[in-house]
Structure 1
Amino acid sequence: MGGWAIAVHGGAGVDPNLPQERQEEAKRLLSRCLEIGISALRSNLPAIDVVELVVRELETDPLFNSGRGSALTENGTVEMEASIMDGPKRRCGAVSGITRVKNPVSLARLVMEKSPHSYLAFSGAEEFAMKQGAEMVDNEYFITEENVGMLKLAKEANSILFDYRIPTIGTCGAGAAMESPLQMNGLPISVYAPETVGCVVVDKEGRCAAATSTGGLMNKMMGRIGDSPLIGSGTYACNLCGVSCTGEGEAIIRSTLAREVAAVMEYKGLNLHEAVDYVIKHRLDEGKAGLIAVSSTGEVACGFNTTGMFRGCATEDGFMEVGVW
Structure 2
Amino acid sequence: MVGWAIAVHGGAGVDPNLPTERQEQAKLLLTRCLNLGISALQSSAAAIDVVELVVRELETDPIFNSGRGSALTEKGTVEMEASIMDGPGRRCGAVSGLTTVKNPVSLARLVMDKSPHSYLAFSGAEDFAKQMGVEREENDYFITEDNVGMLKVAKEANSIVFDYRIPTTGYESCGVGVESPIRMNGLPISVYAPETVGCVVVDSQGRCAAATSTGGLMNKRTGRIGDSPLIGAGTYACDACGVSCTGEGEAIIRGTLAREVAAVMEYKGLGLQEAVDFVIKERLDEGQAGLIAVSKTGEVAYGFNCVGMFRGCASEDGFMEVGIWE
Q: For 2:3 and 2:240, locate their aligned partners in 1 and report how far apart those are by CA, in whole Å.
A: 14
Match of 2:239 in 1: 239
Aligned positions of 1:3-14 closer than 5 A:
3-14=3-14
- TM-score in terms of structure 1 length: 0.98
The whole-number CA distance in structure 1 between the counterparts of 2:174 and 2:304 is 28
Q: Is contact 2:175-2:188 (8 Å) kept?
A: no
Show CA shifts across 1:232-290 (max 9, x none): 00000000000000000000000000000000000000000100000000000000000
Query: Which segments of 5 or more consecutive residues in structure 2 lack a partner in the other structure?
Result: none
| Equivalence for 1:209 | 209
2:164 alignment partner, SS class: coil
Pair 1:286–1:241, CA change in 2 (3 A): same
CA contact (8 A) 1:7 1:314 kept: yes
Q: Look up the equivalent residue of 2:280 and give its one-letter code.
A: I
How far off its partner does 1:178 sit?
A: 3.6
Contact 1:310-1:324 within 8 A present in 2 as well:
yes
Give percent identity, aligned residues only. 82
Query: How far did residue 170 of structure 1 move?
Result: 2.5
- The answer to whether the 8 A contact 1:71-1:216 is kept is yes
Asked whether the equivalents of residues 175 and 190 of structure 2 are also in contact (C-alpha less than 8 Å), the reply is no
Partner of 2:34: 34
Q: Go from structure 1 to structure 2 and tell me whether the alpha carbon gap of 1:269 and 1:123 turns closer, same or farther (over 3 Å shift).
A: same
Residue in 1 that maps onto 2:56: 56
Deviations 1:135-158 (A, max 9, x none): 111111100011000000000000
Distance 1:170 1:315 in 2: 40
Quote the Cα distance in structure 1 between the aligned partners of 2:95 and 2:172. 31
Q: Does 1:91 align with 2:91?
A: yes
- SS of corresponding position for 2:88: coil
Of 235-244 and 130-139, the range deviating more from structure 2: 130-139
Q: Distance in 1 between matches of 2:177 and 2:83?
A: 31
Q: 1:43 to 1:76 in 2, by over 3 A?
A: same
Letter in 2 for 1:91: R
Written as runs of structure 1 = structure 2, the 5 A alignment for 1:186-197 is 186-197=186-197
User: Counterparts in 2 of 1:123-134, with a 5 A limit?
Assistant: 123-134=123-134
In the alignment, the residues of structure 1 paired with residue 211 and residue 112 of structure 2 have an alpha-carbon distance, to the nearest angstrom, of 12
**Contact conserved, 2:7 with 2:311, CA < 8 A, in 1?**
yes
Q: Which amino acid aligns with 2:166?
A: I
Map 1:1-325 to 2 at 5 A.
1-171=1-171, 175-176=175-176, 178-325=178-325
Instruction: Report if the CA contact (8 A) 1:153-1:172 is conserved.
Output: no
Whether the 8 Å contact between 2:174 and 2:180 is mirrored in structure 1 is no
Distance 1:251 1:174 in 2: 20
Q: 1:161 deviation in Å?
A: 0.3
User: RMSD over aligned Cα, in angstroms?
Assistant: 1.1
Note the C-alpha offset of 1:169.
Answer: 1.5
- Runs of 4+ more than 3 Å apart: 172-178
The amino acid that maps onto 2:206 is G
Per-residue Cα deviation, 1:156-190 (whole angstroms, up to 9, x for no partner): 00000013211242226785364321101111112
How many residue pairs align between the two structures? 325
Give, in angstroms, the shift of residue 312 of structure 1: 0.1
How far, CA to CA, are the matches of 2:183 and 2:138 in structure 1? 34
Structure 2 CA distance for aligned equivalents of residues 114 and 177 of structure 1: 50
For 2:209, what is the secondary structure of its paired residue? strand
Q: Work out the CA distance in 1 between the residues paired with 2:42 and 2:76.
A: 42
AA aligned to 1:37 is G
SS of equivalent to 2:220 = coil
Residue type of the partner of 2:49? D
**Partner SS state of residue 45, structure 2:** coil
Write the letter of the residue equivalent to 2:271.
Answer: N
**149 and 237 in structure 1: CA distance in 2 versus 1, 3 angstrom threshold:** same
> 1:52: Cα distance to partner?
0.1
Secondary structure of the residue that 1:93 maps to in structure 2? strand
**SS of match in other structure, 1:176:** coil
Secondary structure of the corresponding residue to residue 246 of structure 1? strand
CA distance in 2, matches of 1:172, 1:121: 37
Decide whether the 8 Å contact of 2:72 with 2:218 is kept in 1. yes
SS of 1:2 mapped into structure 2? coil
- After superposition, give the CA deviation of every residue in 1:287-308 in whole Å (9 maximum; x if it has no partner): 0000000000000000000000
Taking the aligned partners of 1:174 and 1:33, their CA distance within structure 2 comes to 33
Amino acid at match of 1:12: A
User: What TM-score, normalized to structure 2?
Assistant: 0.98
